């Protein structure tokens, strides 16, 4: 669990709410279901229209990694690569076949399978780099869902404000309905700007950083796998991987 992300989100929301209360406002005045529906569903619809259902669903699922990122397996990878390298130098590349089914990471398993199949190290690097390009393109399209939401939400909030003001103008003769219309108008703007800058854009930025980290990890694995295929010394390979830790 990434407690820093959770603490950041709580701190941001608490700061806004506390500031509102210190100015004499009421917490209940920020609870406007109509404004919430306009901003959230309006933003979701615009993003879905732009990105398509596949990227939209993938982007929403990716958000869990902001608060529960994958475990850091760098140390484990170094130990496994060292073991594979020693086995390959001692018994030959075909001896690595017994390890293929034990590997859970699809990218690493594919690389190990290519080594066992006797693929040239340069060709192996070419194949796996193409795999990284495909991964990067797919993941960035999904992460862009949150950046798009951050761009649309403030505008949809303004749309909600305009709708609220229209509601106010339609009921000028009924003072009892003016308050709710004005509340929806201003709260919709708060929701739009707040969700964009406190939730959507930070999530999008963190997902992009995580994608960059995973790309760097996979590039490190390519270097290590090519070293195994070339018969490099296990100690040399460990030193190369330690640089990326």
Q: Which residue has the higher pLDDT, 63 or 232?
A: 63
Q: Is the pLDDT of residue 166 over 70?
A: yes
State yes or no: pLDDT of 85 exceeds 90. Answer: no
Residue 97 has pLDDT above 60, yes or no: yes
State percent of the chain over pLDDT 90: 22
Q: Which of 158, 159, 157, 179 is nearest to 168 (CA)?
A: 179
Domain check: are 112 and 211 in the same one?
yes
- Per DSSP, the three-state class of 106 is helix
Q: What is the pTM of this model?
A: 0.80
Q: Examine the domain organization and report whether 7 and 64 are in the same domain.
A: no
Do 124 and 176 have their domain in common? yes
Residue 180: which pLDDT band, with cuts at 50, 70 and 90?
low
**Host domain of residue 158:** 33-245
Categorize the per-residue pLDDT at 47 as very low, low, confident or very high, splitting at 50, 70 and 90.
very high
Same domain for 153 and 184, yes or no, is: yes
Helical spans, DSSP H, in the chain: 3-22, 33-51, 53-62, 64-67, 74-91, 97-100, 106-116, 121-170, 178-195, 201-230, 234-243
Residue 131 · residue 107 · CB < 8 Å: yes
Per the prediction, the chain carries an average pLDDT of 82
Long-range contacts of residues 130-135, Cβ cutoff 8 Å, at least 24 apart: 131/107, 131/218, 132/215, 132/218, 132/219, 132/222, 135/107, 135/214, 135/215, 135/218
Pair 47, 100 in one domain? yes
C-alpha 41/C-alpha 147 separation (Å) is 16
pLDDT higher for 202 or 78?
Answer: 202
Q: Is residue 18 located within the same domain as residue 135?
A: no
Higher pLDDT, 41 or 231: 41
- Sequence-distant (≥ 6) Cβ neighbours of residue 214 within 8 angstroms: 135, 139
Encoding tokens for residue 190? 């708060």
In the chain, the number of structural domains is 2
**pLDDT of 83:** 83
The predicted-structure confidence for 111-129, as pLDDT tens digits, reads as follows 888 888 888 888 888 889 9
Nearest C-alpha neighbor of 89 from the set 223, 232, 225:
232
């Amino acid at each position: 669990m990434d407690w820093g992300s959770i603490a950041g989100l709580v701190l941001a929301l608490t700061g806004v709410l506390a500031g509102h209360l210190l100015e004499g406002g009421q917490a209940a005045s920020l609870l406007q279901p109509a404004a919430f529906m306009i901003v959230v569903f309006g933003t979701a619809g615009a993003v879905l229209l732009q990105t398509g259902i596949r990227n939209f669903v993938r982007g929403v699922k990716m958000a869990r990694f902001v608060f529960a990122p994958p475990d850091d397996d760098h140390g484990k990878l170094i130990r496994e690569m060292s073991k594979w390298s020693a086995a390959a130098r001692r018994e030959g590349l075909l001896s690595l076949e017994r390890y293929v089914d034990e590997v859970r990471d699809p990218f690493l398993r594919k690389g190990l399978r290519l080594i066992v199949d006797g693929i040239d190290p340069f060709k192996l690097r070419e194949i796996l780099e193409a795999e990284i390009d495909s991964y990067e393109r797919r993941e960035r399209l999904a992460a862009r869902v949150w950046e798009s939401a951050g761009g649309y939400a403030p505008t949809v909030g303004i749309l909600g404000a305009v709708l609220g003001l229209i509601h106010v103008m339609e009921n000028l003769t009924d003072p009892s309905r003016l308050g709710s219309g004005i509340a929806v108008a201003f709260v919709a703007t708060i929701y739009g700007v707040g969700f964009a800058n406190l939730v959507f854009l930070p999530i999008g930025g963190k997902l992009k950083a995580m994608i960059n980290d995973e790309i760097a990890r996979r590039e490190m694995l390519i270097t290590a796998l090519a070293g195994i295929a070339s018969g490099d010394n296990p100690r040399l390979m460990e030193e190369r991987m330690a640089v990326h830790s």
